[in-house]
Structure 1
């Protein structure tokens, strides 16, 4: 009989605790601060990434890029931004007036079809960071992928690995932008 009473007491206490937790949960949710929004101190303006010219003067176009490097690079940068930059916004607005602007152009792409068997995948970039009251800071960057041991990779997934690494390089550089920096594996 006493074991049965103990079980009933424990069940009643558990119900009371769960009920109390549920009623407090709604008050805590209401008290949480709102999500931060982009402003001039925590954002970088990142316009659409463009195709530039190679060192030999050839103009790159979307036809040279079956893997949409601008889209994957843009996402990689946004995913890896570090404090103080929490946001990458595509265009200036009143919220971000005075935020630095990062312009990036792709200066070379080598992404032959055939995935792992199609040879190396290489992406080269040139970027300029314009900051109010400071001289522009330039960088060049390159990453490549020759081999991948493990699961066979398609051409675009290999290029995605390259652009993700470049996004990390750029996010780190934004912490302390040094003019004429060489990022990646140059």
Structure 2
């Protein structure tokens, strides 16, 4: 998967936005085209290879049974159906030989405007002054803050897990 010798042209380019410098909690965002993250992962690795070097590890903060956070429901003020668990933001830590990044995974069904704005915010890219103060910007900002909080929780949990002798070397 990492023995990349050339690039292939994709019908749907990888939607990825990275910050110029790695931060503490979120370094950018990836927006898969479908709900099948596994099928799009090789293309993501290929794109990240240029920035990170050979990708040596990928960790996620979710299990296959967990639902995703619906970003558009935050925008519209929609509420979850009583009795259902609201998902948390999905994060992915991609470690390369030269650098690592933590990505917010934007749900594939997110509306175009919100998804693009969340990606810009996650990568620390400039946002037009006319967009700031709009409900969609407020939502993107809120999503990023929720993701940063989740990232801090995930890092603390991972540090606590790897600190115990019984779990040393276990990937999560």
- Fold agreement, TM-score > 0.5: no
TM-score by length of 2: 0.27
Structure with the higher strand share, 1 or 2: 1
Higher relative contact order (CA 8 A, sep 6+): 2
